[in-house]
Amino acid sequence: MKLYAAPLNFRDIAREFNVPTEFTAQQHEAAQGLTDSLLHTRRDARDIEFVTIDPPGSMDLDQAVCIERSASGYTVHYAIADVAAFVEGTDNPVRAESLKRGQTIYLPDEPARLHPPELSEGSASLLPDVDRPAVLWTFQLDSSGEVTDTFVERALVRSRARFDYDEVQEGMDRGVVHASISLLAEVGTLRQESSLRREAINLRLPSVRVVETGEGRFELVIEPRHPVMDYNSEISLLTGMAAGQMMVQAGKGFLRTLSPATNGAEKEFRQEMRNLGFSIGGEPVGEFLARVNADTPRGMAVMREAQKLLRGAGYINLEDKEPEVHAGIGGYYSHVTAPLRRLIDRYATEVCLAICAGTEPPAWVAEGANQVVKTMGRTSQLANTVDRACLNLTEATVLKPWVGQNFQAAVLKTEEEHDASRIFVIDPPVLAPCLGQPEEGVETSVSLVRASVAEREVTFAWPAD
């Protein structure tokens, strides 16, 4: 979950988990001097009218998109920042540091970035009205949104505009959007229907804003998740699936993997959903999630609980292991669309470029393969740990002034052996442990008995005082 909590300080969490938040002067200087080393290899694609869509204020722009109608369906042009052209080929402090960091760690107040801003928000970012090196994916889709052809190459691109989700959604609601994304909702919807056919599990986690109400008190406010966010995500998912399929067919590259949820985990999830008041029946989980309104407190709880079905994600090098699918995607999948924020994207992208060109990947891909997979595994676990710590700190801070007060909660699960339960507090929207065993599936009153900011823990009790 992404939290925007300007009044809170998450630097202690960064220090506790050794998350590097700064770059050295040498790294800043090196990033400033990096240039595109592969300019001579690029197709001139500046005639394609790309635009970017990102959260408000974002400057590290990995992706730019342009969608056109074709005789048989659609042509999707997708430009990805070509980070490898800047950092690979020579030893430099930026490359060395990225091999350690692995990925951007998203602390709510300020990200701990993978690359210095001179690169990630400057020369490698797909900012508008400037020429930028990119890896250009071109997809042909049929009328149902399924991929019929894929091509990837290096190109020189020029974005026409930088949009944020709010303004694009407002434009869509009014029926006025930039021509390059006028088909985004149409294609995005078709791809969502494709994901249901694959029985994919698509989580739509809403953002939660922390609002200070005065006298040292805060509240959690769920921010609407615009449909355009999901349409835009579908283009990235499409690219990752095409890349994964390409690499599996070639027998080389890097996959993002996830084993299917166990029968026990899915059974528990379905029971929790019934306890939250949802009718789930025997339908596929992906279909159930698609019809849940994630902008409501209970909908947010659904998406957070569904995360338990997607545990155990990892990365594999196809040179060492047999292909494995990503159960959440419903097929082979690779990370190739966020190289400014993830290390492995530039390695997997390089393999796809070589496959499409009929050549071998450069030596640095094979030389760094094992290190990259290990780094991504380690830092993905770190990112999850930090995310949980930030969420727990925020909830404890928000609830601390209310110790002793009663709240309405839905009972998700009881544990007789521990005389405890797991509940969902409706306002503020919090999933938390509870002492006592109220009946599963009921909505009841509970008391907040503990909210420790230092230990980042909250506890409720039933029956309420």
User: Per-residue pLDDT averaged across 384-392, rounded?
Assistant: 93
- Tell which residue, 107, 106, 120, 108, has the closest CA to residue 27: 120
Can you tell me which residue has the tokens 């959440």?
328
User: Per-residue pLDDT averaged across 205-221, rounded?
Assistant: 72
Calculate the alpha carbon distances from 165 to 106, 224, 227, 450 in Å. Answer: 19, 11, 9, 38
User: Per-residue pLDDT averaged across 344-363, rounded?
Assistant: 97
User: Per-residue pLDDT averaged across 427-445, rounded?
Assistant: 93
How far apart, in whole angstroms, are the C-alpha atoms of residue 52 and residue 74? 19
On whether the pTM is more than 0.85, the answer is yes
Three-state SS at 267: helix
Window from 67-71, 240-244, 261-265 with minimum mean pLDDT = 261-265
User: pLDDT confidence of 216, banded at 50, 70, 90?
Assistant: low
The yes-or-no verdict on residue 72 having pLDDT over 50 is: yes
Kindly calculate the radius of gyration of the chain based on its CA atoms and give it in whole angstroms.
23
DSSP output for 19-55: ------HHHHHHHHH---TTGGG-EE-TTS-EEEEES
458 CB contacts (<8 Å, ≥6 apart)?
A: 392, 395, 396, 399, 430, 432, 448, 450, 451, 452
Calculate the alpha carbon distances from 220 to 44, 309, 379 in Å. Answer: 47, 25, 28
Confirm if 226 and 165 have CB atoms less than 8 A apart: yes
User: Per-residue pLDDT averaged across 104-129, rounded?
Assistant: 95
The yes-or-no verdict on residue 222 having pLDDT over 90 is: no
Give the CA-trace dihedral at 416, 417, 419, 424, to 10 degrees: -60
Neighbours of 93 (CB within 10 A): 17
The yes-or-no verdict on residue 1 having pLDDT over 70 is: no
- Tell which residue, 35, 240, 22, has the closest CA to residue 115: 22
**Is the dihedral angle over the CA atoms 38, 41, 46, 50 positive or is it negative?**
negative
User: Per-residue pLDDT averaged across 330-336, rounded?
Assistant: 96
The yes-or-no verdict on residue 224 having pLDDT over 90 is: no
- Tell which residue, 92, 144, 150, 153, has the closest CA to residue 119: 92
The yes-or-no verdict on residue 2 having pLDDT over 70 is: no
pLDDT at 37: 96
User: pLDDT confidence of 126, banded at 50, 70, 90?
Assistant: very high
- Tell which residue, 239, 244, 374, has the closest CA to residue 318: 244
Three-state SS at 7: coil
**66 strand-pairing partners:** 77
pLDDT at 162: 97
The yes-or-no verdict on residue 3 having pLDDT over 50 is: no
**413 strand-pairing partners:** 422
Tally DSSP H helices, then E strands, for the chain: 13, 16
User: Per-residue pLDDT averaged across 349-371, rounded?
Assistant: 97
User: Per-residue pLDDT averaged across 310-318, rounded?
Assistant: 93
User: pLDDT confidence of 215, banded at 50, 70, 90?
Assistant: low
The yes-or-no verdict on residue 4 having pLDDT over 70 is: no
Element at 244 (helix H, strand E): helix 227-250
pLDDT at 219: 72
**Is the dihedral angle over the CA atoms 200, 267, 306, 254 positive or is it negative?**
negative
Confirm if 84 and 37 have CB atoms less than 8 A apart: no
CATH architecture classification, 405-461: Beta Barrel (2.40)
103 CB contacts (<8 Å, ≥6 apart)?
A: 114, 341, 342, 343, 376, 379, 380, 383
Mean pLDDT of the chain: 93
356 CB contacts (<8 Å, ≥6 apart)?
A: 150, 151, 152, 153, 246
Neighbours of 415 (CB within 10 A): 12
User: Per-residue pLDDT averaged across 448-454, rounded?
Assistant: 95
Where in the sequence of the chain do the CATH 2.40.50 domains occur? 405-461
Confirm if 414 and 436 have CB atoms less than 8 A apart: no
342 CB contacts (<8 Å, ≥6 apart)?
A: 102, 103, 104, 114, 335, 376
Given the DSSP bridges, would you call strands 457-461 and 430-435 parallel, antiparallel or unpaired? parallel
How far apart, in whole angstroms, are the C-alpha atoms of residue 289 and residue 270? 11
pLDDT at 7: 61
How far apart, in whole angstroms, are the C-alpha atoms of residue 123 and residue 177? 28
Q: How many residues does the chain have?
A: 465
pLDDT at 297: 87
pLDDT digits (tens, 9 = 90+) for 146-172: 999 999 999 999 999 999 999 999 999
152 HSE (CA, 13 A, CB side): 26
Tell me which long-range contacts 442-446 makes (C-beta under 8 A, separation of at least 24).
442/410, 442/411, 443/408, 443/409, 443/410, 443/411, 444/408, 444/409, 444/411, 445/406, 445/407, 445/408, 445/409, 446/406, 446/407, 446/408, 446/409
User: Per-residue pLDDT averaged across 386-409, rounded?
Assistant: 92
pLDDT at 204: 84
Give the CA-trace dihedral at 273, 279, 282, 286, to 10 degrees: -70
